[in-house]
Amino acid sequence: VAGLGNYGMWGTRHSVGMEVLNRLARQLAVAEGWRVDKRCCADVALATTHGLELVLLKPRRFMNLNGLSVASAAEIYSLGPEDIYLVHDDLDKALGKVAIKLGGSARGHNGVQSCISALHSN
C-alpha cells in the first residue's frame, strides 16, 4: 500500500496518501515500525492482518517521482502491479470521500502517472 504525496508537506492535500498510511499503521499497531529504506527511497513499515502481509510505503521523493519508489519497493518485495494499492488525493472527490478503482488512467494525477510509467502498468 503506497501513500502518494510530497514527503514533508504534511497537512496539505498532497500528503493525504501518506496521512492515510500513518493512520493505517496506527490501526495495525505498526506505527512505531516505520524505517527509512534507502533502497527504494521511502519510509517502510511491515504489517500482518487477516493472514495478509502488507508493505506500507511512503515515498520520500516528490509526487511526480513517487513511482520510482513504488517500483523499487515492488522489486525488493517481489510484488506485481496487481499487488499494489495507491492511496492519493483526488480533487474530483469531496473531502473525506473514498473510492476504489482498478486500473485505468492517471486522470491527470502526477503521482499516479509516475507509478503507471515506472511499473509499466495501469
Domain count, the chain: 1
Residue 48's domain comprises 2-119
74 with 84: CB under 8 angstroms? yes
Domain CATH code at residue 113? 3.40.50.1470
Q: How far apart are CA 112 and CA 106, in angstroms?
A: 5
Inform me whether the pLDDT recorded for 113 exceeds 90.
yes
Q: Using CB atoms within 10 Å of the CB of residue 30, give its burial: 0 to 12 exposed, 13 to 18 middle, 19+ buried.
A: middle
Contact criterion met (CB below 8 Å) for 85 and 2: yes
pLDDT per residue as tens digits for the range 41-78: 999 999 999 999 999 999 999 999 999 999 999 999 99
Active site residues: 14
How much is the pLDDT for 65? 96
C-alpha cell at 42: 521511502
What is the structure's pLDDT at 10?
84
The band of 96, judged by pLDDT with boundaries at 50, 70 and 90, is confident
Rounded to whole angstroms, how far apart are CA atoms 45 and 12?
Answer: 22
